[in-house]
Amino acid sequence: MKTGIFGGTFNPPHLGHVDAAAQAVKALGLGRLLIIPDALPPHKELPEGSPDDEARLKMARLAFAGVKHARVSDMEIRRGGRSYTVETLRHVREDHPEDRLYLLMGTDMLLCFEQWRDFREILKMATLAVFCRGPGELPAVSKAAARLRELYNASVQVLDIQVREASSTDIRKLLPGRGGREFLPEAVYAEIVKRRWYGARPDLAWLRERAYAMLEPKRVAHVKGCEEEAVRLARRWGADVERAREAAILHDITKKEKLPEQLRLCQKYGIELDEVERCEGKLLHSKTGAGIAKYEFGCDDEIYGAIFWHTTGKEDMSLLEKVIYMADYIEPNRDFDGVEKLRRLAYEDLDRALEMGFTMSIEDMRSRGIVPHARTLGALAYITKG
């Protein structure tokens, strides 16, 4: 059998890696492709703040899940220390003594190959299979391959494939600015956002797409309006606009769920409930939405709080909590008696607008025979005193 070995830090694994692997399997006729994340690369350190070994393994498994004959191996991570290719090839040779081995690499690795530890032994064990990131690299690859063949009788195969241009280094730089999504497999990007690895912040179009898919269609307009209003209010009162966007986009993601599912989510995310909340599903979507925002989309505690309290409010709300509560109340699609007055007041005096909003909510609930939640009553009393 032909076995390929594709190593690297995969920090993170990107579509260029996946393209290279998939095309190499086809071009070389591989029956097995081992994807091997290294523990520590031989010639460099992992960048500060990189995910741990288990996280990189998980990302690799997500990235290469759809590549035929590919399997992610933890052999170098289990071995620990510097990851030298010659040791990995010895291990693979022991496991598969009858296989023909192909070592996959890019142009940059080929050009420095003679600096690798025991590179002559590597050449005795494996064929070097080299892919380029564009036709401009072909002359340098061909020259280096010819040199290795002439000097060391090496087996070097330059693959006639075009690999998508992508760089893990560049992607890591893009992620904190909500970029990089287009270079990553969807599952890898979702995992990075969930864990907020590399300081990542989600692409807002991606976040909206995921959030809207969790809503009943008729609620999408409300969520869009809430985001618009949250941004305006955040700018007016000096709240963090980016956090306001994320909170508004995600604030109603569990709104459609019935009480049994709401209770299940509360248990999953360790959310404590009072007796009233256990019986009233409408009070729970803010809490379960906050749980999903934090644990599935990686939102910070400030965003979590803004979503968590957007239904009942509470005493001593943060600025972002006030912004999201009010944006939900007065977004452009809302139409009820007093909404225009409340909208004007929200841009004149946010606390007085909250006082008016709490009062209107309490009166509306009482008019319908509903006992207002104690936290709403407490929120009104607190802000009235203030």
Tell me the pLDDT tens digit for each residue of 5-16: 999 999 999 999
**Same-domain pairing of 174 and 80:** yes
* Per-residue confidence (pLDDT) for residue 43, from 0 to 100: 65
> Stretch 247-269: mean pLDDT, rounded?
96
Tokens of 74: 């933890």
Q: Tell me the C-alpha distance between 239 and 243, whole Å.
A: 8
* Per-residue confidence (pLDDT) for residue 125, from 0 to 100: 96
> Stretch 254-264: mean pLDDT, rounded?
95
Out of 155, 187, 219, pick the residue that ends a domain: 187
> Stretch 354-371: mean pLDDT, rounded?
92
Answer yes or no: is 36 within a domain.
Answer: yes
Task: List, as own/partner pairs, every contact residues 225-228 make where C-beta atoms lie below 8 angstroms and the sequence separation is at least 24, other chains included.
Answer: 225/331, 225/332, 225/333, 225/334, 226/251, 226/252, 226/324, 226/327, 226/328, 226/331, 227/327, 228/331, 228/332
**Same-domain pairing of 90 and 227:** no
Orientation of helix 241-250 relative to helix 204-212, angle to 10°: 20
Assess contact for 348 and 237: CB atoms under 8 A: no
Assess contact for 237 and 323: CB atoms under 8 A: yes
| Helix/strand/coil for 137 | helix
* Per-residue confidence (pLDDT) for residue 40, from 0 to 100: 78
- CATH number, position 334: 1.10.3210.10
Tell me the pLDDT tens digit for each residue of 225-235: 999 999 999 99
- The number of distinct structural domains making up the chain is 2
Answer whether residue 83 shows pLDDT above 90. no
Assess contact for 247 and 324: CB atoms under 8 A: yes
**Same-domain pairing of 176 and 249:** no
Which residue is listed with tokens 């618009």?
Answer: 228
Its pTM stands at 0.93
**Same-domain pairing of 122 and 254:** no
> Stretch 253-261: mean pLDDT, rounded?
95
**Same-domain pairing of 148 and 238:** no
Task: Please tell me the total number of residues recorded for the chain in this structure.
Answer: 386
Tell me the pLDDT tens digit for each residue of 125-152: 999 999 887 777 888 889 999 999 999 9
**Same-domain pairing of 176 and 219:** no
> Stretch 94-105: mean pLDDT, rounded?
95
Please name the residues in contact with 301: beta carbons below 8 A apart, sequence gap of 6 or more: 294
> Stretch 331-359: mean pLDDT, rounded?
97
Nearest C-alpha neighbor of 305 from the set 257, 208, 239, 214: 239
Name the phi and psi angles at 185, rounded to 5.
Answer: -60, 145
CA dihedral for 80, 21, 58, 209, sign (positive or negative): positive
Answer whether residue 315 shows pLDDT above 70. yes
Assess contact for 326 and 232: CB atoms under 8 A: no
Out of 124, 159, 187, pick the residue that ends a domain: 187
Answer yes or no: is 198 within a domain.
Answer: no
**Same-domain pairing of 115 and 240:** no
> Stretch 75-91: mean pLDDT, rounded?
91
Answer yes or no: is 195 within a domain.
Answer: no
b/e map 68-79, b = 16+ CB within 10 Å: ebbebbbbbbee
Tell me the pLDDT tens digit for each residue of 164-216: 778 999 999 999 999 999 999 999 999 999 999 999 999 999 999 999 999 99
**Same-domain pairing of 220 and 110:** no
**Same-domain pairing of 211 and 182:** no
Q: Which of the residue ranges 35-49, 170-184, 186-200, 318-332 would you say has the lowest mean pLDDT?
A: 35-49
**Domain span holding position 317:** 204-385
